[in-house]
Amino acid sequence: MNWQDPLVKKFLYVIIAMILLCPLGILLVWDYGDAWGEWGPEDVSEKVGEDKVSGLLHLADIWAYAPLPDYNIPGWEDKVHASIGYIISAIVGVALCLGAYYILVKVVNPQASSS
């Protein structure tokens, strides 16, 4: 894969700019609720009653191993810390996406990826 392609380089600059700007994605919606249907299990059960969501409460915490839950370092609650946590998450996420993609292409298409 030719990562020196000028268009790909331009995208890498865009990606760096987006990483730096990404705190806008939480600051602009700081006083807003969650996306529809993405509320925490306590919030839903409070709203509709625990008996209506017994299965939901059972399944909701099945995955408690996310190292950066909600794109943040756990406990970094104020705007400044959350913004830094968000930037860290963006960097980690981009690295993971590029890494996973690179490995996948290496596996499925070794000739193309070595050229």
Partner 1 sequence: MHIPDGYLGPITCALFYLIMIPFWYKGILELKKLDPRKLPLLGVLTAFSFLVMMFNLPVPDGTTAHMVGGTLIAILMDNPWVATIAISIVLIIQAIFFGDGGITCIGANCFNMGVVLPFVGYYVYKFLRDKVGEVIASGIGAYVGIVTAAIVAGLEFGLQPFIEPGYCPYPFTVAVPAMAFAHLITAGPAAAVVTAIVVWYVKKVRPDLFTSQNKQVSGVNA
First to last CA, the chain: 6
Binding to partner 1, residues 91-110 (CB under 8 A) = 92-94, 96-98, 100-102, 104-105, 108-109
Q: Which residues contact 23 (CB under 8 A, 6 or more apart)?
A: 82, 83, 86, 87
Spatial separation of the C-alpha atoms in residues 7 and 13, rounded to whole Å? 10
Question: 6-45 mask for partner 1 (x: CB under 8 A)?
Answer: xxx-xxx-xx--xx--x-xxx-xx--xxxxxxx--x--x-
Q: What is the torsion angle, in degrees rounded to the nearest 10, for the CA atoms of residue 41, residue 43, residue 49 and residue 55?
A: -10
Residue ranges binding partner 1 (CB under 8 A):
1-3, 5-8, 10-12, 14-15, 18-19, 22, 24-26, 28-29, 32-38, 41, 44, 48, 52-63, 65-71, 86, 89-90, 92-94, 96-98, 100-102, 104-105, 108-109, 112-113, 115
